[in-house]
Amino acid sequence: MTSTVTPTVTPTMEAKAKERLYRLVDQIPEGEVHTAERFLEYLAAADDPVMRALLNAPEDDEPLSAEDREALEEGRKALAEGDVVSDEELRAELGI
């Protein structure tokens, strides 16, 4: 049976690692930014089983129906025209 030893990580080591991560993020190729973002979100959600499940769920790949496309177009048009409701207004309307 093999045992693994986890090295002690000091605050200085953590700070240096974060600095390296910032530099690496700046070097991510344009086409891989979304993948890197999802991976970092996955790591950040290690203690949240619900978030972990959502991040592990496959992306929706079902084709849009004509009704879906119409609803999306309607929403985009409303947004472009400024016909929107703030979060505060929505909460007040819903009573939450």
Q: pLDDT per residue over 9-65, tens digit each?
A: 788 888 999 999 999 999 999 999 999 998 888 888 878 888 878 878 888 888 999
| Contact criterion met (CB below 8 Å) for 37 and 44 | no
Domain assignment present for 7 = no
Among all chains, which residue has been given the structure tokens 């203690």?
47
Do 94 and 69 belong to one domain? yes
Domain count, the chain: 2
Q: Residue 77 belongs to what domain range?
A: 64-96
Q: Which pTM value belongs to this model?
A: 0.40
Domain assignment present for 82 = yes
Do 75 and 53 belong to one domain? no
Taking the CA atoms of 40, 43, 48 and 51 in sequence, report the sign of the dihedral they define: positive
Do 19 and 55 belong to one domain? yes
Do 21 and 56 belong to one domain? yes
Do 50 and 81 belong to one domain? no
Q: pLDDT per residue over 50-84, tens digit each?
A: 887 887 888 888 899 999 999 999 999 999 999 99
